[in-house]
Amino acid sequence: MSEPSELPSAPRQRDPSARDLFEILVREHADMVTAYLRSLLGRSSAVDDIFQRVMLTAWRRLDDYDRSRPFGPWLRGIAHRLVLEHYRTSKSAPACMDPAVIGELDRRFERLGSAPGDTFREKADRLQDCVSKLPDAMREAIEHVYARGMLFNAAALALGSGEEALKKRVQRARALLAECLDSSLTSPRSALSPALNSPDLSPRHS
Amino acid sequence: MNSPHPSNPNSGDQSPTNTPVSAQRNAQTNLQSSAHAAPEPAQGSASDVAGELFTHGLLTYLHDDTASAQSQRVSAALRLIDADGRDRSVHGPSERAAGRLVLPRLQPYMKPIMAMAASLVLVGAVTLLVVPTASTASATVTVQASISAMRSGGDRRYEVRALHDDVTMDDAEPIAVVDTRAPNLLVLRGRSPDGRPNIAGRDANGLWGIRPDGVIDRDTPRRAWPRWSNLGQQTLFADSVDALLDEMTKGYTLERRDDQTRDGRTQRHIIGTKKDPMLPGAQTIDIWIDPASQVVERLELHFVPPPQGMRQPGLEGDDRGPGPGGRRGPGGGPGDDRGERGGRGERGEPREPGERGDRPGPDDRGPRPGRRGPGGPDRDRGPGGPGGPDGPEGRPDHDRPFPPPFPGPREGGPRGSEDRGGPGGPEGRGGPGGRGHNPPKTIILQRVNAPAFDASWFSPEAHMQGASQQTPAAAPTNTPAP
């Protein structure tokens, strides 16, 4: 079952409870919600708590869910509001509030969700293909910062780079990865983003 | 590109996405400070910023949120939903439900509440429903985190005390010491009323117990477990700690209370209330968790004694194993090697040969145990020895039916006090000062400093009479808690 609109409206022979149906939806969208929260919260420990609250809120507001619309965006909307609430209650700076950015982020998640693949993880794994095609310096930076979970200063030390230079490198890498992923979603998985072939992307930062 | 914003149903068309978003800088800066490797303040269009957030989120998810972690996260969410207690069974289609998930109408009492909530919606904003279970969500998340932490390993030690009406925490001597090594190694050392050691555990080969005749019992190991650990259909310590906590999240409604400061440390306080009060086991459970390590520091199980003469269901006979479904009670402390942390001293060290019994027992007292947790309620005193495999008259338990398990009245009546110095048991076998104690109201597990356990510490052979007195590595000195 990939689309909420496919859910039967009439009771079946086995009359599943809404709870069972909701569980199916939760399992189907859990990874996406997590990744979305990571986009806004990174490695913050609040991700766990907010994830739970997203699902609980969705459960409680299930009456309000319009089945003619996809479930994923509805969950992301709840997630975004909870992230905002988190920043308000924690008295830290607000998360990304620009509706344009949120809208664009939502579009990217929606597009990824529509990509070929059985699971969200499988679809997200396309990003790994893009990482493998990054220029060496950028790929190493991404691997140190994400795969190894190193802080910028530690990763910079390990790579023999300045911290600011490393940050810029990671930022640029993320931008390239976004382009690559965007391209790959409309083509076979082995597609290589033209941007990654550019000779201008040879590592030069120290 | 203007398009509806599906994640915000209340919004209309969006502004073009190619406008600069320098307003995001502050947000991104704070993301940077609080979230590792978060995108730097972005220069560029909304699309650029969103693209960077997108890849940042996916990269973090791919590397941090494994399938296993996600499975746990989902399970926790579903438990939360189940605990929410709302039954939303599907009914036939109705006009309102056409094209929607069919759900029953709201309970009548919810309608005015919903109306009130709706009236609080600000223009252009959507308020969330009050989530009274925010504390439940937080409690569940906290316990889940503790489960994960306990599964990650570490040597820990807990002292077990049982409190009666007239015994305060300060007066209660430990009735047992429990050593654990995640994920599922455990040694429980107590002492029966007649002074004989009560030793049982779990190693890589499963549960074991040491019978009074010194034989290792792996066929019916639960006979060796002290009776106070038998909580009706649940058995304390019978399984891995994380599994015990996991069971607790299912059978108890969790609620997070205000953090408490104990011994200079802030600890998270969770209260669990048994969902079905008719089932055996502790009625309520208090847990204190160290937020830094996610390890349980203290666990209190509070019992409501059954009416006089009433036994717990399903507890006849000598089946000491888990009840139907293999339910296991909450309990069993995870622990961590806290050699650097102090309290009032290390306890529970194996006793020297020649002292009372040749086996280690928890009454090898040095200084009082390091208590990093609360002082505990002013309550009951520790009774006499734990119910051991010997039974009340010293005969092996396998020759007679077990007495009523805790917390019911002891079959044959309580024993008189025998050993004021020995560890007590919660079955009213007498304790300091007397006989005929009622079953204790509270069992407390308090984490204390743990030595570095030898690899074989969790095997029964290490505790056999006559075996080399293998002691854990030298216990840390009695250092106060930092």
Give the model confidence (pLDDT) of B63-111 as tens digits: 999 998 899 999 999 998 888 765 444 333 343 444 444 444 444 544 4
A91 CB near a chain B CB, below 8 Å?
no
pLDDT beyond 50 at B316: no
Q: For A166, name the nearest residue in chain B, comparing CA atoms only.
A: B37
pLDDT beyond 50 at B57: yes
CB contact under 8 A, B63 and A63: no
Q: What is the DSSP string of B62-122?
A: HHH--HHHHHHHHHHHHHHHHHHT---------TTTTTS---PPPPTTHHHHHHHHHHTPP
CB contact under 8 A, B100 and A98: no
Please tell me the predicted confidence (pLDDT) of residue B421.
39
Write the pLDDT tens digit of every residue in A68-104: 889 999 999 999 999 988 888 776 665 566 889 999 9
CB contact under 8 A, A56 and B77: yes
CB contact under 8 A, A66 and B100: yes
Q: Which residues of B touch A18 (CB under 8 A)?
A: 88-90, 101-103
Rounded alpha-carbon distances, angstroms, from residue A36 to A42, A80, A88, B62, B429 = 9, 9, 19, 12, 58
Q: Is-contact B357 B196, C-beta < 8 A? A: yes
> What is the side-by-side strand order in the sheet with B265-274?
B216-217, B206-210, B197-203, B185-191, B176-181, B155-163, B442-448, B296-302, B284-289, B265-274, B252-262
**Of the partner residues A77, A101, A146, the one whose CB lies closest to the CB of residue B8:** A77
Write the pLDDT tens digit of every residue in B352-402: 444 444 444 444 444 444 444 444 444 443 333 333 334 334 333 333 333
Q: What is the DSSP string of B231-269?
A: ETTEETTSS-HHHHHHHHHHHEEEEEEEEEEETTEEEEE
**Of the partner residues A39, A52, A61, the one whose CB lies closest to the CB of residue B54:** A39
Q: Is-contact B191 B388, C-beta < 8 A? A: yes
Residues 6+ apart with CB under 8 A from B327: B233, B234, B247, B251
- The candidate with the shortest Cα–Cα distance to B321, out of B194, B246, B427, B232, is B232
DSSP H or E run through B208: strand B206-210
B180, two tokens: 């654990």
Q: Which residues of A touch B146 (CB under 8 A)?
A: none
**Of the partner residues A31, A42, A60, the one whose CB lies closest to the CB of residue B56:** A42
Chain A contact probe: residue of B53, B121, B129 with most A CBs at under 10 A: B53
CB contact under 8 A, B59 and A82: no
What is the mean predicted confidence (pLDDT) over B262-277? 81
Q: Which residues of A touch B49 (CB under 8 A)?
A: 96, 98, 101, 104
Please tell me the predicted confidence (pLDDT) of residue B413.
43
B59, two tokens: 């990269």
CB contact under 8 A, B51 and A174: yes
A127 CB near a chain B CB, below 8 Å?
yes
How many contacts (CB atoms, under 8 Å) link A and B?
292
CB contact under 8 A, B3 and A107: yes
Tell me the ipTM for this assembly.
Answer: 0.85
When comparing pLDDT for B249 and B271, which is higher? B271
Q: For A78, name the nearest residue in chain B, comparing CA atoms only.
A: B7
Please tell me the predicted confidence (pLDDT) of residue B73.
93
A118 CB near a chain B CB, below 8 Å?
no
**Of the partner residues B58, B90, B101, the one whose CB lies closest to the CB of residue A124:** B58
CB contact under 8 A, B131 and A7: no
B336, two tokens: 């961590």
CA distance B268 to B288: 5
B99 to chain A, minimum CA–CA distance in Å? 6
- Which range has the worst mean pLDDT, A129-138, B95-104, B464-473? B95-104
Q: Is-contact A179 A189, C-beta < 8 A? A: no
CB contact under 8 A, B6 and A146: no
**Of the partner residues A30, A56, A92, the one whose CB lies closest to the CB of residue B137:** A56
Look up the pTM and report it.
0.42
